[in-house]
Chain A
Amino acid sequence: MAAPLTLLLIVAVTIRAVLFRSSLAELISARVEVVSPLNAWKRVVEGLALLDLGVSPYSGDVFHEVTDGITALALYLSIQTYNKDVFRKQKYALESDRYSADCLELLRSPKEMFYIPLKVAMFYLLNPFTILSCVAKSTCGLNNAIIALFIFCTLKGSALLSGILLALATYQSIYPLTLFAPALLFFLQRLYIPVNLRRSSFWFFTLQYAFMYVGSLVVITGLSFFLLGSWDFIPSVYGFIFSVPDLTPNIGLFWYFFAEMFEHFRLFFSCVFQINVFFYTIPLSIKLKEHPVFLIFMQIAIISIFKSYPTVGDVALYMAFLPAWSHLYRFLRNIFLVSCVLLACSALFPVLWHLWIYAGSANSNFYYAITLLFNFGQILLVADYFYAYLRREHHLTHGLYLKKKDGTEATLVLK
């Protein structure tokens, strides 16, 4: 498997290198869908220039290709580990007769799972969103790399490294805080500690892991304080993320909402929108406590849909996981609609942006509409995969071919 992966890496690096050298690099690094005020390279360079007027800014395209490579490699190895895990759990479940008799076709075989890690790496590296992010020199690539490394360390079982990387990811943008729960659940599952709030072993491990995480976070924050000499960076970075002062259009839902809001309600709606990102964690953790890796996927997806300055690089990260759930294909209900919506919106974003900003023949409503549709498509995608996952679990325990009381074929509904 090393050879196909190497080939994939070479192809990916070539595409990025070609795009870097072409004239498209300038164009792409100015696109609002790809860079946001939080992660634009122009802002990094500006910051460096402000620090030392006269120093020529670092161009650094190699740096961005390397982060993409790290992410892909980390995802590849994580999914490989995960697959082994899945197969092992399936074996135990089969041996303990937890699955019903007629769900043989739902079981996963090593043959089917063999190419999944490569597909995951490919989905990440060759995703046009990732390529655009890389060529635009957005720091999103670095964010994705750290999250991917965090996933890798978690799946490998190293709690300390996982805590440190999660702290690093949280330090960059505060939303990965919600990934604490799935990581914790994974470790508990791996160490065979039951998730029971009354058991002391649960609390013991939770406190250990929390201590490692919070400790690393404190160390990193303290380091920043000593480097910069003041606490100014806390309100300017985290305050910026939470209060959304910069209304530059992006692919998210926030910018137009806050541009058109009455001043009176600004605080209320900021709180509502930010709570919206965090508050799915607990319910999802309760529902998916047996399946922490899927929970990580759901969490990352929710973060990239509802965060305050989303870019296509964030979208690319959770889309990379989709080949890992390719066995759910038969239960997906809306996949054609969702893929059409996402493709159409991706094509329409630059067109309507150009019509608004340069041609002057459209206005902001056009771009906003496509934003709405894009996010709607993403929500449908995530909800669909969630539905399919839950349904497969249901079928595994209750049987695939269900019958009604009178013996005819039954339909499953959510009640």
Chain B
Amino acid sequence: MLILSSLLLFILTTHSEALTPAAARDEFQEELVIRPLHSGDIYASFQFRTLWDTDFLQEGQKVSHYRLFPKSLGQVLSKFSVRELHISFTQGFWRTMQWGQPFIPSPPGAELWVWFHDTVSDVDGNWKELTNVLSGIFCASLNFIDLTNTVQPSASFKPLGLGNATDHRFLRYATLPREIVCTENLTPWKKLLPCGSKAGLAVLMKSEKLFHSSFHSQAVHIRPICQDEQCSSKAWELRQTLNVVFDLHTSGQGKKEWSLFKMFSRTLTEACPLASSSKVYVDITDNPELFELSPATPLLGQAVVLGDRRTYSVYDLSRAETFGQLRSFNLLLRDMLRPLLHAERYVAGFGLQTGEIHTVIYNNHPYRAFPVLLMDSVPWYLQLYIHTLTVTSKSRDNKPSYIHYQPAKDRHRPHLLEMLIQLPPHSMTEVTVQFERALLKWTEYTPDPNHGFYVGSSVVSALVPSMVAMRTNFTQDQPLFSSFVPVKEESSYFVRVYTEPLLVNLPTPDFSMPYNVICLTCTVVAVGYGSFYNLLTRTFQVDEPSPPLSKRLANLIRRMRGVPLLT
């Protein structure tokens, strides 16, 4: 009995695969392509592809078990018998002359074109309902698509996926150029992804950075494709794409230095666990010398895209070592144009009483250290405190080998500070000194006192090691631009770098008040003088009230008469 039941169980389990219908295989891939553009902008293109071995359009079999494929789209496809669906929302216009060709083109506004299955009888009715349903899914006002803005192109929009029906009666195309894209459209779009916006590449999609760009386009493309060369099995492919171009000046602060954090204000921490492949591609074809990529990767890929063979550096996010020790992947693209020596200066602090001058000197030479001479001339009304002078390189104290300081004399001469600082290779050196702001006499202010006072540039002079040996002998036929500074030695050249001038606000008195101030102060002094004068020159006496007028007149007459006075 026991043996029989166990045998039955064994037979049943081995044949369980034959009894239940085959579970459809689905697969998810995500990828990000970053391409620095010639104008200094940067183009990022996300693509999320879900492949599903199922048939929505098969009669009788209703698909109910959704895993990676979003259920809302699957239901739309089966209800309206859609063969191909392409919808895109774009903000901005793609500037081909400046940026080249995009991977996925799209017009500004919203664009929707759909191929219906040839079993559909009322295409217009399906189209109307489809637009309404899509407008609900994407929170966009696609319900404005109606017969007045729909066309049936006869030749332009052939199916991009499988399909041999070329009857353009089943094609509908509409655009809404006025449609605006915003966070309300991005959020449902992100929800269609298997990992949502919680893991994988979709964590980078934060609306505050994405919509602060020159061009933003998000699209959904659904089509049936062949799984293999012979096209023995078909699958549905859902591609969600997001293209964004970040402007050099708006997002990049004018610096050709891009990183994932700068573009998206996020870094990648993990790949989507549901993805079979998760990769980041960086286009390095154009200028391998002009920018450097970090972290470095040995993986390289080549692809022919838009008629051009391009080389890509590939980062595989499914490998743990891509994320490094900090478990965070922040891709950095930096312009290789790094001058060996440059300096910046700024004022720190708040309020009108004190402040701090920071001078930052960068030595970008990879392995050579060299000394620089820093000269600072600060006007007398910013009283420097030399005992607060600090020089730090790589967050360690760096004592200058020579300091010449001439303190200022009020209204006679300014401060002069000269220092010889040794700059370690590939480092940033910061020189800070505190100062106090003085209140000046009202005639010493400029006509526009609230504009502030200018402090002249600091001068950094140095002999920078040269990569190229230079000729020290005098030749007549040198071009003018190379013969300004005399060359004393072969291995280094003299360079002088000027920092920014500073604009410092000083506390101002009220310029309309000189007469009032003199009057008020002298009044207080006079009150003091008056009180002391009274107390010093007068004595205490008993106060006898003065007699009334009548008595005084009577006394006057009596005095004239020579008669004794009244009391």
Contacts and interface: CB of A to CB of B under 8 A. Distances in A.
A412 interface: yes
Main secondary structure of the interface of B (DSSP, over half): mixed
A284 B513 CA distance: 35
B440 A46 contact: no
Contact of A379 (B443, B524, B540): B524
Interface string B525-546: 1011101101110111111100
Interface stretch (A159-167, A176-184, A257-265, A342-350): A257-265
A247 B441 contact: yes
B531 A46 contact: no
Contacts of B536: 283-284, 286-287
A36 interface: no
Given A30-B354, A364-B509, A390 B521 contact: no
A356 B387 contact: no
Given A249-B439, A364-B507, A379-B527, A53 B353 contact: no
Interface stretch (B93-101, B322-330, B403-411): B403-411
Given A358-B351, A404-B544, A57 B387 contact: yes
Nearest to A266: B441
A383 B517 contact: no
Interface string A32-53: 1000000000100110111001
Interface residues of A, number: 64
Interface string A120-158: 000000000000000000000000000000000000000
A363 B534 contact: no
B507 to A, nearest CB: 6
A291 interface: no
B517 A245 contact: no
Contacts of B407: 50
Contacts of A287: 535-536
B544 A405 contact: yes
B518 A257 contact: yes
Residue in B354, B410, B521, B542 whose Cβ sees the most chain A Cβ within 10 Å: B521
Nearest to B567: A405
Contacts of A32: 353
A314 B493 CA distance: 60
A357 interface: yes
Contact of B442 (A53, A260, A368, A391): A260
A390 B535 contact: yes
Given A259-B439, A383-B532, A390 B540 contact: yes
A368 B517 contact: yes
B535 A50 contact: no
Contact of A253 (B387, B439, B525, B544): B525
A379 B531 contact: yes
Contacts of A364: 439, 507-510
A276 B525 contact: yes
A358 B350 contact: yes
Interface string B340-361: 0000000000111110000000
B386 interface: yes
A48 B385 CA distance: 11
Interface in A253-281: 253, 255-263, 273, 276, 280
A376 interface: yes
A259 B527 contact: no
19 contacts: A48-B387, A49-B386, A57-B387, A253-B524, A259-B440, A260-B442, A260-B518, A263-B441, A273-B525, A305-B528, A363-B508, A364-B507, A364-B508, A365-B510, A368-B517, A387-B535, A394-B540, A410-B542, A410-B543
Interface of A: 30, 32, 42, 45-46, 48-50, 53, 57, 245-249, 253, 255-263, 273, 276, 280, 283-284, 286-287, 305-306, 356-358, 360, 363-365, 368, 372, 375-376, 379-380, 383, 386-387, 390-391, 394, 398, 402-405, 410-415
Given A248-B439, A411-B542, A414-B534, 6 more contacts: A32-B353, A45-B387, A245-B411, A259-B441, A284-B532, A404-B544
